Protein backbone atom coordinates (compact mmCIF):
# COMPACT_ATOMS: atom_id res chain seq x y z
CA UNK A 1 0.00 0.00 0.00
CA UNK A 2 1.24 3.48 -0.66
CA UNK A 3 0.78 6.82 0.98
CA UNK A 4 1.82 9.99 -0.81
CA UNK A 5 2.64 12.11 2.21
CA UNK A 6 3.85 15.62 2.80
CA UNK A 7 5.55 18.33 0.73
CA UNK A 8 5.71 20.61 -2.24
CA UNK A 9 6.43 18.58 -5.32
CA UNK A 10 5.48 17.79 -8.81
CA UNK A 11 5.82 14.03 -8.71
CA UNK A 12 5.40 12.11 -11.88
CA UNK A 13 4.70 8.42 -12.03
CA UNK A 14 5.79 6.69 -15.18
CA UNK A 15 5.37 3.17 -16.44
CA UNK A 16 3.52 0.13 -15.23
CA UNK A 17 3.45 -3.26 -13.40
CA UNK A 18 4.18 -3.35 -9.70
CA UNK A 19 4.81 -5.69 -6.84
CA UNK A 20 3.89 -4.18 -3.49
CA UNK A 21 3.25 -0.66 -2.46
CA UNK A 22 4.65 2.29 -4.33
CA UNK A 23 7.76 3.95 -3.08
CA UNK A 24 10.09 6.67 -4.22
CA UNK A 25 11.43 9.98 -3.16
CA UNK A 26 13.59 10.66 -6.14
CA UNK A 27 14.08 8.83 -9.38
CA UNK A 28 17.22 10.07 -11.03
CA UNK A 29 18.97 10.13 -14.37
CA UNK A 30 22.47 11.08 -15.49
CA UNK A 31 24.13 12.52 -18.57
CA UNK A 32 25.02 10.37 -21.56
CA UNK A 33 28.47 11.26 -22.85
CA UNK A 34 28.04 10.28 -26.50
CA UNK A 35 27.90 13.94 -27.51
CA UNK A 36 31.35 14.61 -26.04
CA UNK A 37 32.88 11.63 -27.86
CA UNK A 38 31.33 12.72 -31.13
CA UNK A 39 32.93 16.15 -30.83
CA UNK A 40 36.30 14.57 -30.12
CA UNK A 41 36.02 12.35 -33.19
CA UNK A 42 36.47 9.14 -31.20
CA UNK A 43 33.34 7.38 -32.46
CA UNK A 44 32.97 5.64 -35.80
CA UNK A 45 30.06 7.19 -37.81
CA UNK A 46 28.53 3.75 -38.33
CA UNK A 47 28.56 3.18 -34.57
CA UNK A 48 26.79 6.51 -34.06
CA UNK A 49 24.02 5.49 -36.47
CA UNK A 50 23.69 2.14 -34.73
CA UNK A 51 23.55 3.67 -31.27
CA UNK A 52 20.78 6.06 -32.29
CA UNK A 53 18.24 3.28 -32.82
CA UNK A 54 15.07 3.36 -30.71
CA UNK A 55 16.20 0.22 -28.92
CA UNK A 56 19.46 1.85 -27.78
CA UNK A 57 17.80 5.13 -26.83
CA UNK A 58 15.23 3.26 -24.75
CA UNK A 59 17.89 1.26 -22.92
CA UNK A 60 19.90 4.41 -22.24
CA UNK A 61 16.81 6.14 -20.84
CA UNK A 62 16.02 3.31 -18.40
CA UNK A 63 19.66 3.11 -17.36
CA UNK A 64 19.80 6.85 -16.74
CA UNK A 65 16.65 6.79 -14.59
CA UNK A 66 17.97 4.09 -12.25
CA UNK A 67 21.70 4.91 -12.40
CA UNK A 68 21.90 6.86 -9.09
CA UNK A 69 20.98 3.62 -7.30
CA UNK A 70 24.11 1.94 -8.64
CA UNK A 71 21.91 -0.79 -10.13
CA UNK A 72 22.44 -1.84 -13.75
CA UNK A 73 19.53 -2.55 -16.08
CA UNK A 74 20.38 -6.26 -15.91
CA UNK A 75 20.26 -6.18 -12.10
CA UNK A 76 17.07 -4.15 -12.23
CA UNK A 77 15.25 -6.78 -14.27
CA UNK A 78 16.64 -9.74 -12.33
CA UNK A 79 16.41 -8.41 -8.77
CA UNK A 80 13.79 -5.66 -8.69
CA UNK A 81 11.31 -5.75 -11.58
CA UNK A 82 8.09 -7.16 -10.08
CA UNK A 83 9.96 -8.22 -6.94
CA UNK A 84 10.86 -5.31 -4.68
CA UNK A 85 10.88 -1.49 -4.59
CA UNK A 86 13.97 0.42 -5.69
CA UNK A 87 14.92 3.94 -4.65
CA UNK A 88 17.18 5.55 -7.23
CA UNK A 89 18.87 8.45 -5.45
CA UNK A 90 22.38 9.62 -4.68
CA UNK A 91 23.85 7.62 -1.79
CA UNK A 92 24.06 9.73 1.35
CA UNK A 93 25.68 6.95 3.33
CA UNK A 94 22.44 5.82 4.96
CA UNK A 95 21.96 2.63 2.95
CA UNK A 96 19.35 3.63 0.40
CA UNK A 97 18.09 0.24 -0.74
CA UNK A 98 18.06 -1.67 2.52
CA UNK A 99 18.26 -5.42 2.27
CA UNK A 100 20.16 -5.40 -1.02
CA UNK A 101 23.40 -7.20 -0.20
CA UNK A 102 25.00 -6.44 -3.56
CA UNK A 103 24.20 -2.77 -3.23
CA UNK A 104 25.50 -2.73 0.35
CA UNK A 105 28.80 -4.24 -0.85
CA UNK A 106 29.12 -1.62 -3.61
CA UNK A 107 28.46 1.16 -1.10
CA UNK A 108 31.00 -0.25 1.34
CA UNK A 109 33.66 -0.42 -1.36
CA UNK A 110 32.95 3.11 -2.51
CA UNK A 111 33.49 4.45 1.00
CA UNK A 112 37.04 3.08 1.36
CA UNK A 113 38.88 6.33 0.68
CA UNK A 114 42.34 7.33 1.74
CA UNK A 115 42.88 10.77 3.33
CA UNK A 116 44.42 12.09 0.13
CA UNK A 117 41.27 11.19 -1.78
CA UNK A 118 38.88 12.96 0.57
CA UNK A 119 38.79 16.35 -1.14
CA UNK A 120 38.52 15.12 -4.77
CA UNK A 121 35.86 12.64 -3.67
CA UNK A 122 33.90 15.38 -1.93
CA UNK A 123 34.12 17.62 -4.98
CA UNK A 124 32.90 14.75 -7.16
CA UNK A 125 29.92 14.15 -4.88
CA UNK A 126 29.03 17.84 -4.85
CA UNK A 127 29.17 17.95 -8.65
CA UNK A 128 26.99 14.85 -8.90
CA UNK A 129 24.52 16.35 -6.42
CA UNK A 130 24.25 19.51 -8.52
CA UNK A 131 23.67 17.52 -11.73
CA UNK A 132 21.29 15.28 -9.84
CA UNK A 133 19.17 18.22 -8.67
CA UNK A 134 18.88 19.82 -12.13
CA UNK A 135 18.57 16.74 -14.33
CA UNK A 136 14.83 16.88 -14.82
CA UNK A 137 14.44 20.67 -14.84
CA UNK A 138 11.88 21.75 -17.39
CA UNK A 139 10.16 18.39 -17.83
CA UNK A 140 7.13 19.53 -15.85
CA UNK A 141 6.66 22.35 -13.35
CA UNK A 142 3.95 24.68 -12.10
CA UNK A 143 4.35 27.13 -14.98
CA UNK A 144 4.05 24.35 -17.56
CA UNK A 145 1.05 22.90 -15.74
CA UNK A 146 -0.62 26.32 -15.69
CA UNK A 147 -0.16 26.69 -19.44
CA UNK A 148 -1.41 23.17 -19.97
CA UNK A 149 -4.63 23.87 -18.08
CA UNK A 150 -5.16 27.29 -19.64
CA UNK A 151 -4.52 26.34 -23.26
CA UNK A 152 -6.13 22.91 -23.47
CA UNK A 153 -9.42 23.38 -21.60
CA UNK A 154 -8.74 20.44 -19.30
CA UNK A 155 -11.86 18.94 -17.74
CA UNK A 156 -12.50 17.73 -14.21
CA UNK A 157 -12.74 13.93 -13.84
CA UNK A 158 -11.42 13.30 -17.37
CA UNK A 159 -8.17 15.31 -17.48
CA UNK A 160 -7.48 16.29 -13.88
CA UNK A 161 -8.62 15.91 -10.28
CA UNK A 162 -8.38 18.06 -7.18
CA UNK A 163 -8.12 15.87 -4.09
CA UNK A 164 -7.43 16.01 -0.38
CA UNK A 165 -6.68 13.40 2.28
CA UNK A 166 -8.21 14.76 5.45
CA UNK A 167 -10.39 14.12 8.49
CA UNK A 168 -13.66 15.57 7.21
CA UNK A 169 -15.88 14.07 9.95
CA UNK A 170 -13.68 15.03 12.89
CA UNK A 171 -13.48 11.43 14.15
CA UNK A 172 -9.74 11.05 13.68
CA UNK A 173 -10.04 8.98 10.50
CA UNK A 174 -8.67 10.53 7.33
CA UNK A 175 -10.11 9.75 3.95
CA UNK A 176 -9.61 10.95 0.41
CA UNK A 177 -12.11 13.42 -0.94
CA UNK A 178 -12.37 14.67 -4.52
CA UNK A 179 -13.39 18.28 -5.01
CA UNK A 180 -14.16 18.02 -8.73
CA UNK A 181 -17.55 19.47 -9.69
CA UNK A 182 -19.83 16.63 -10.90
CA UNK A 183 -20.63 16.36 -14.62
CA UNK A 184 -24.00 17.55 -15.85
CA UNK A 185 -26.41 15.69 -18.10
CA UNK A 186 -26.60 17.17 -21.57
CA UNK A 187 -29.97 18.34 -22.78
CA UNK A 188 -31.65 17.04 -25.95
CA UNK A 189 -29.44 13.99 -26.31
CA UNK A 190 -30.76 10.57 -27.34
CA UNK A 191 -27.95 8.55 -25.71
CA UNK A 192 -28.49 6.31 -22.69
CA UNK A 193 -28.14 7.75 -19.17
CA UNK A 194 -24.88 5.85 -18.58
CA UNK A 195 -23.30 7.02 -21.83
CA UNK A 196 -20.32 9.34 -21.21
CA UNK A 197 -21.33 11.29 -24.31
CA UNK A 198 -24.47 12.20 -22.43
CA UNK A 199 -22.46 13.96 -19.73
CA UNK A 200 -20.86 17.39 -19.85
CA UNK A 201 -17.73 17.77 -17.72
CA UNK A 202 -16.77 21.15 -16.29
CA UNK A 203 -13.68 22.81 -17.79
CA UNK A 204 -11.14 23.67 -15.10
CA UNK A 205 -10.49 27.34 -14.38
CA UNK A 206 -6.80 27.88 -13.52
CA UNK A 207 -7.68 30.41 -10.83
CA UNK A 208 -9.95 27.90 -9.09
CA UNK A 209 -7.28 25.21 -9.35
CA UNK A 210 -4.53 27.30 -7.76
CA UNK A 211 -6.90 28.58 -5.07
CA UNK A 212 -7.55 24.99 -4.01
CA UNK A 213 -3.84 24.14 -4.14
CA UNK A 214 -2.48 27.26 -2.44
CA UNK A 215 -5.27 28.08 0.01
CA UNK A 216 -6.93 24.74 0.75
CA UNK A 217 -3.72 22.69 0.37
CA UNK A 218 -5.26 20.26 -2.10
CA UNK A 219 -3.36 17.96 -4.45
CA UNK A 220 -3.68 18.48 -8.20
CA UNK A 221 -3.54 15.30 -10.27
CA UNK A 222 -3.10 15.51 -14.03
CA UNK A 223 -4.36 12.51 -15.97
CA UNK A 224 -2.40 11.66 -19.12
CA UNK A 225 -0.24 14.83 -19.20
CA UNK A 226 1.72 13.26 -22.07
CA UNK A 227 -1.22 14.15 -24.34
CA UNK A 228 -0.24 17.81 -23.91
CA UNK A 229 3.54 17.61 -23.41
CA UNK A 230 5.96 16.40 -26.10
CA UNK A 231 8.82 15.70 -23.69
CA UNK A 232 6.73 13.40 -21.51
CA UNK A 233 5.23 11.77 -24.61
CA UNK A 234 8.72 11.03 -25.99
CA UNK A 235 9.88 9.57 -22.67
CA UNK A 236 6.88 7.26 -22.44
CA UNK A 237 7.27 6.20 -26.06
CA UNK A 238 10.85 5.09 -25.39
CA UNK A 239 9.84 3.24 -22.23
CA UNK A 240 7.15 1.43 -24.19
CA UNK A 241 9.86 0.25 -26.55
CA UNK A 242 12.01 -0.92 -23.65
CA UNK A 243 9.27 -2.73 -21.71
CA UNK A 244 7.25 -3.99 -24.66
CA UNK A 245 3.97 -2.79 -23.19
CA UNK A 246 1.81 0.31 -22.91
CA UNK A 247 3.12 3.02 -20.60
CA UNK A 248 0.99 5.85 -19.24
CA UNK A 249 1.50 8.73 -16.84
CA UNK A 250 -0.13 10.87 -14.18
CA UNK A 251 1.39 13.96 -12.56
CA UNK A 252 0.86 15.17 -9.01
CA UNK A 253 1.43 18.58 -7.47
CA UNK A 254 1.06 18.54 -3.68
CA UNK A 255 1.52 21.55 -1.37
CA UNK A 256 3.90 21.49 1.57
CA UNK A 257 2.77 19.36 4.56
CA UNK A 258 -0.19 17.99 2.60
CA UNK A 259 -1.39 14.66 1.28
CA UNK A 260 -3.83 13.98 -1.53
CA UNK A 261 -4.42 10.23 -1.51
CA UNK A 262 -5.04 7.44 0.97
CA UNK A 263 -2.71 4.45 1.37
CA UNK A 264 -3.32 2.00 -1.48
CA UNK A 265 -1.63 -0.22 -4.03
CA UNK A 266 -1.96 -0.23 -7.82
CA UNK A 267 -2.26 -3.05 -10.33
CA UNK A 268 0.74 -1.77 -12.30
CA UNK A 269 4.44 -1.09 -11.82
CA UNK A 270 5.04 2.58 -11.09
CA UNK A 271 8.17 4.61 -11.78
CA UNK A 272 8.08 7.88 -9.86
CA UNK A 273 10.19 10.89 -10.85
CA UNK A 274 10.51 13.59 -8.20
CA UNK A 275 10.67 16.76 -10.27
CA UNK A 276 10.54 19.46 -7.59
CA UNK A 277 10.56 19.70 -3.82
CA UNK A 278 10.65 16.52 -1.76
CA UNK A 279 8.24 13.84 -0.68
CA UNK A 280 8.11 11.12 1.95
CA UNK A 281 6.89 7.69 0.87
CA UNK A 282 5.96 4.83 3.18
CA UNK A 283 6.27 1.41 1.59
CA UNK A 284 4.54 -1.63 3.05
CA UNK A 285 4.68 -5.33 2.23
CA UNK A 286 1.67 -6.79 0.37
CA UNK A 287 -1.23 -7.59 2.75
CA UNK A 288 -1.10 -11.25 1.64
CA UNK A 289 0.41 -13.51 -1.03
CA UNK A 290 -2.57 -13.13 -3.36
CA UNK A 291 -1.98 -9.36 -3.48
CA UNK A 292 1.73 -9.52 -4.30
CA UNK A 293 1.16 -8.95 -8.03
CA UNK A 294 -2.49 -7.83 -8.05
CA UNK A 295 -4.68 -7.71 -11.14
CA UNK A 296 -6.80 -4.90 -9.66
CA UNK A 297 -5.97 -1.80 -7.67
CA UNK A 298 -6.84 -1.80 -3.99
CA UNK A 299 -9.46 0.16 -2.15
CA UNK A 300 -8.32 3.08 -0.01
CA UNK A 301 -6.88 1.82 3.26
CA UNK A 302 -6.96 3.66 6.56
CA UNK A 303 -3.68 4.59 8.21
CA UNK A 304 -4.48 2.18 11.06
CA UNK A 305 -4.91 -0.73 8.64
CA UNK A 306 -1.52 -0.31 6.97
CA UNK A 307 0.34 0.24 10.24
CA UNK A 308 -0.99 -2.97 11.82
Q: What angle do CA 180, 185, 186 make, to 5 degrees?
A: 120
Q: pLDDT at residue 225 above 60?
A: yes
CB neighbour list of residue 116: distance below 8 Å, 6 or more residues apart: none
Return the pLDDT at 5. 41
pLDDT single digits (tens) 226-257: 999 999 999 999 999 999 999 999 999 999 99
CB neighbour list of residue 230: distance below 8 Å, 6 or more residues apart: none
- Which string of DSSP letters, residue by residue, matches 2-24? EE--SS-EEEEEE----SSS---
Mean pLDDT of the chain: 79
pLDDT single digits (tens) 106-122: 544 444 444 545 577 78
pLDDT single digits (tens) 20-56: 433 333 333 333 333 334 344 445 656 655 667 899 8
Return the pLDDT at 67. 86
Amino acid sequence: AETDATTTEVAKPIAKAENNVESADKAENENVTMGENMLEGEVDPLMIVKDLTTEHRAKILLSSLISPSGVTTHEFYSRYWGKRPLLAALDNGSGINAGDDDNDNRNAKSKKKTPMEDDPYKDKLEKEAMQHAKRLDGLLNRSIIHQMIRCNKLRYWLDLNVTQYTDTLGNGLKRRITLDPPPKKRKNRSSTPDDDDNLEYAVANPQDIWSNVDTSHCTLRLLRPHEHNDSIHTMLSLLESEFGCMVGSNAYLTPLHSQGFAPHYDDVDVFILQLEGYKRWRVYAPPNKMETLPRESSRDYTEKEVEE
